[in-house]
A and B are shown apart, each in its own frame.
Chain A
Amino acid sequence: MRISNILLMVIFPTTALAEWETNMPRGVTPTSEVAYDLHMLIFYITVVIGILVFSAMLYSIIYHRKSLGHEPAKFHESTKVEIIWTVIPFIILVGMAIPATKALIMMEDTRDSEITVKVTGYQWMWQYEYLEDDVSFFSKIDNESNVARRLGSNVDVKKVKNYLRNVDNAVVLPTNTKVRILLTANDVIHAWWVPELGGKKDAIPGFVNELWVDIKEPGTYRGQCAELCGKDHGFMPIVVHAVSKPEYYKWVGIQKTNKVAKNK
């Protein structure tokens, strides 16, 4: 085997299982899509500006050097030029601000949500309450990940399924339904974030925040706490199962039955 292969395998032993993902997901909700589209727009604009500026620098570095005998010019100011390169960037920014403002207004509009799920952040797990149906449960990192992640566990984490992104009780939500997510916390500030669902809000003790999702595609979506909340901040994941409306109501029914059975 070639030395380079061996070297690569030694340095990057995770290559077999891991991905080389470089971009954010476009996601499955109107809010995630609008965030992604805005992200790409600004990215492309900055790439173009970067190419223009760095090409000018590169040209200058190559041709305007003493070793080529280039004599230094004497110019050192120009009000006209200063105005141009103030006004043009300003216009570009206005061009960015318009879609950004539209997107933001849409993302912050939680009106007319069909169901409300209240999320409470704890050190170090989540509690979910479905307000309309009076269903409530805790959601913790699943046992396999929790054991594997300990210092000195001697478990190969690459063999753990959805390592650090799996829970014991997942959130179940119906697709094609505007869901309002209420956020609060029990102790310190946490943040609830599932990248593919778009939006992120802090969960603050004593206060409620809200965001909304409308999941267009059924599937399983994984996220994590996104605000430092103490030692196990990295170990309180989020799992959302998005299912059809009938399946969702079936699941709610089962939760309610279990709750009655528990309270007997």
Chain B
Amino acid sequence: MSNFKKTYFSLIFFTIFMFSFSYMLVPLYDIFCEITGLNGKTNQTKVIAVNENPVERFVTVKFTSTVANSAPFTFEPIDREMIVQVGKINNTFYTLTNNTKTIKHATASPSVVPHEDAEYFKKIECFCFSQQQINGLETKELPLQFIIDNELPNDTRTLILSYTMFNTTDQLGSN
């Protein structure tokens, strides 16, 4: 193969590789965060096996909520704040009200601060990312079961969990 052809093939390959690389960045973004522990995201998959191992340590967990894009919902935590024992399973819930008369679909996305402690906030049962169907003027209780991992750094005394509820009624793939 002539030198020219070699140059063209390698450069075209490089171009296509860099285009695919931009798509690879999507999963790489999450993998990188998991490996390095630099994570503002909580566990995406639910924790299946849970070992309760309560220790003599208590942290404050605050709960807050946001409704995105001024959607016609009322969405509030039932507990604004809990004193939580590290290593013990805890339960709470959020309430979601559909303020319209028609059926709606809603999906919540979680976020924890401090970001670097998010990985220790392990959700056993939660409603994150699962689309809720809610009838007109209905109020639903959305349960949350979680455990604070014993590995939580010693100097963290407060965690704040925030849910943002999106109106996903018109999204492709909604029932």
A interface residues, Cβ below 8 angstroms from B? 110-113, 116, 118, 120, 122, 129, 131-132, 134, 182, 184, 186-187, 205-210
Nearest B-chain residue to A112, judged by Cβ? B157
A29 to B70, CA, bound (A): 34
Cβ-neighbour of B68 out of A113, A134, A187, A210 (below 8 A):
A187
A32 to B64, CA, bound (A): 28
Is the pair B113, A120 in contact by a Cβ cutoff of 8 Å? no
A182 to B66, CA, bound (A): 12
Does B160 count as interface, using CB distance less than 8 angstroms? yes
On chain B, the residues within 8 Å of A122 by CB distance are 70
Per-position 1/0 for B140-175, Cβ under 8 A of A:
000000000000000111101010101000000000
Min CB gap B163→A, angstroms: 10
On chain A, the residues within 8 Å of B158 by CB distance are 111-113
Query: For this complex, into which size category does the number of interface residues on chain B fall?
Result: 20 to 34
* 8 A-B pairs with C-beta separation under 8 A: A110-B113, A111-B158, A116-B160, A118-B162, A184-B164, A186-B66, A186-B67, A205-B68
Is the pair A209, B113 in contact by a Cβ cutoff of 8 Å? yes
A207 to B80, CA, bound (A): 18
Min CB gap B42→A, angstroms: 11
Does B105 count as interface, using CB distance less than 8 angstroms? no
Is the pair B113, A134 in contact by a Cβ cutoff of 8 Å? no
Does B54 count as interface, using CB distance less than 8 angstroms? no
On chain A, the residues within 8 Å of B22 by CB distance are none
A131 to B82, CA, bound (A): 13
Cβ-neighbour of B113 out of A129, A187, A206, A208 (below 8 A):
A208
A187 to B164, CA, bound (A): 11
Cβ-neighbour of B111 out of A112, A113, A132, A207 (below 8 A):
A207
A10 to B130, CA, bound (A): 63
A131 to B61, CA, bound (A): 12
Interface of A is mostly: loop
Is the pair B164, A210 in contact by a Cβ cutoff of 8 Å? no
Per-position 1/0 for B101-118, Cβ under 8 A of A:
000000001011110000
Cβ-neighbour of A210 out of B109, B114, B155, B166 (below 8 A):
B114
On chain A, the residues within 8 Å of B88 by CB distance are none
Is the pair A206, B80 in contact by a Cβ cutoff of 8 Å? no
Is the pair A184, B157 in contact by a Cβ cutoff of 8 Å? no
A253 to B81, CA, bound (A): 20
Is the pair B64, A118 in contact by a Cβ cutoff of 8 Å? yes
Is the pair A208, B114 in contact by a Cβ cutoff of 8 Å? no
If A205-B68, A208-B111 are given as contacts, then 10 extra A-B residue pairs at C-beta distance below 8 Å, sorted by A number, are: A110-B114, A118-B162, A131-B62, A182-B160, A186-B69, A187-B70, A206-B109, A207-B109, A207-B162, A208-B162
Cβ-neighbour of B64 out of A110, A111, A131, A187 (below 8 A):
A131
Cβ-neighbour of A182 out of B64, B69, B109 (below 8 A):
B64
Cβ-neighbour of A184 out of B112, B155, B162 (below 8 A):
B162
Min CB gap B30→A, angstroms: 14
A129 to B160, CA, bound (A): 14
Is the pair A205, B62 in contact by a Cβ cutoff of 8 Å? no
On chain A, the residues within 8 Å of B112 by CB distance are 208
Is the pair A206, B164 in contact by a Cβ cutoff of 8 Å? yes
Cβ-neighbour of A206 out of B64, B111, B114 (below 8 A):
B111
Is the pair B162, A186 in contact by a Cβ cutoff of 8 Å? no
Min CB gap B22→A, angstroms: 21
On chain A, the residues within 8 Å of B40 by CB distance are 207
On chain B, the residues within 8 Å of A118 by CB distance are 64, 162
A129 to B162, CA, bound (A): 13
